[in-house]
Structure 1
Amino acid sequence: MTDTITDAIKGTPVALFGLAGWSGSGKTTLAEQLITEWTARGLDVATIKHAHHEFEADTPGKDSWRHREAGAHQVLVSSAIRSAHFVEHKTTEPELGQLLNRLLPCDLVLIEGFKREAVPKMEVFRAEVGKPHLYTADNQIIAVASDSAVTDCPLPVLDLNDIPTIADFVLQVVGLSSR
């Protein structure tokens, strides 16, 4: 883990917490629900999501897409209400610390994916996915959220459908409180 990850986003201390789990386990749904819960409590939340495949975030045919297709390495699109920064990674995937440095200051960064990064994280587990637990091989996983009973787990197991309790747990772990 680098100092960038543990200490700051552009010099501002920030709380980091991750969600890890197999595809189909419900990480994105849980992330959406937690973001809604925390922002309703007055927290400024940013997210970083890891993708394992090529993806398109802007629409083919639109200006930003056309700029990238023409060869622009970076495209920043901005309006009065939103901006997006697209960066083409020609050589290697950026490290989490580099991505964190691109964020504006915030209260909490929720990281979805990046299973191997040394940040505290919660495993999202659904038995029906048919995959083994991740916590057994990752000492950064400090709790499990599941929609069914998890036996013989030495970590706290939280009900995947109890969003306020999960939100409280994460805030306690990262040392934040609601506003």
Structure 2
Amino acid sequence: MRVFGVTGWKNSGKTGLMERLVSEITRRGFTVSTLKHAHHSFDVDHAGKDSYRHREAGASQVILASRNRWALMSELRDAEEPSLDTLLGKLDPVDLVLVEGYKRGGHDKIEAHRAATGQPLIAPTDETIVAVASDNSPEISVPLMHLDDTTAIADFILARVGL
């Protein structure tokens, strides 16, 4: 399975870029899965729902299934957060997995950058960032594309991963 990441600071356009890339790359006939890292506690479940009640009662894993989709929720219960490789191993095979976040992961990444955030580029100090998608023209030593040029970014990623 080929893996490529989208990274950047908060409000840099990562999620919008991910959404556009998934749409563009699947439109081209490739299968894509995504994996997003959250730095905070999150819940895909809601208080009072049966699956929430199962987890609150102490279940380690809960599968919620219907004829349209299924979801597996695993409670860490103070266990260590699983590695990116561990999580990738839980995905069904696809042509490409796009990873949002995981700045410290060893996989190739494109940095989403918006000048308005006031944040510096990560690329100059991170060799896993192989390109930058920005709304301005910073001087960098890796390929630079406009943040809104989804076609060019998708072309770059697909070439980089060999698709």
| TM-score interval, smaller chain | over 0.9
SS at match of 2:10: coil
Corresponding residue of 1:79: 66
Corresponding residue of 1:20: 7
In the alignment, the residues of structure 1 paired with residue 144 and residue 91 of structure 2 have an alpha-carbon distance, to the nearest angstrom, of: 31
Which string of whole-angstrom CA distances, capped at 9 and with x for unpartnered residues, describes residues 33-70 of structure 1? 10011111111101110000100112222111111111
In the alignment, the residues of structure 2 paired with residue 38 and residue 155 of structure 1 have an alpha-carbon distance, to the nearest angstrom, of: 22
Corresponding residue of 1:104: 92
In the alignment, the residues of structure 2 paired with residue 138 and residue 102 of structure 1 have an alpha-carbon distance, to the nearest angstrom, of: 27
In the alignment, the residues of structure 2 paired with residue 133 and residue 148 of structure 1 have an alpha-carbon distance, to the nearest angstrom, of: 12
The runs of at least 4 consecutive aligned structure 1 residues that moved more than 2 Å come to: none
Once the two structures are TM-superposed, the CA of residue 148 in structure 1 deviates from its matched residue by: 1.2
Query: Normalized against structure 1, the TM-score is what?
Result: 0.88
Alpha-carbon RMSD across the aligned residues, in angstroms, is 0.8
Amino acid in structure 2 at the alignment position of 1:20? T
**Match runs of 1:146-157 below 5 Å:** 146-150=134-138, 152-157=139-144
**Match runs of 1:1-179 below 5 Å:** 14-90=1-77, 91-150=79-138, 152-176=139-163
Q: Which moved more, 1:56-65 or 1:66-75?
A: 56-65
In the alignment, the residues of structure 2 paired with residue 172 and residue 128 of structure 1 have an alpha-carbon distance, to the nearest angstrom, of: 30
Amino acid in structure 1 at the alignment position of 2:52? W
Query: Normalized against structure 2, the TM-score is what?
Result: 0.96
Unaligned runs of at least 5 residues, structure 1: 1-13
Corresponding residue of 1:9: none
In the alignment, the residues of structure 1 paired with residue 92 and residue 50 of structure 2 have an alpha-carbon distance, to the nearest angstrom, of: 25
How many residues were matched structurally? 162
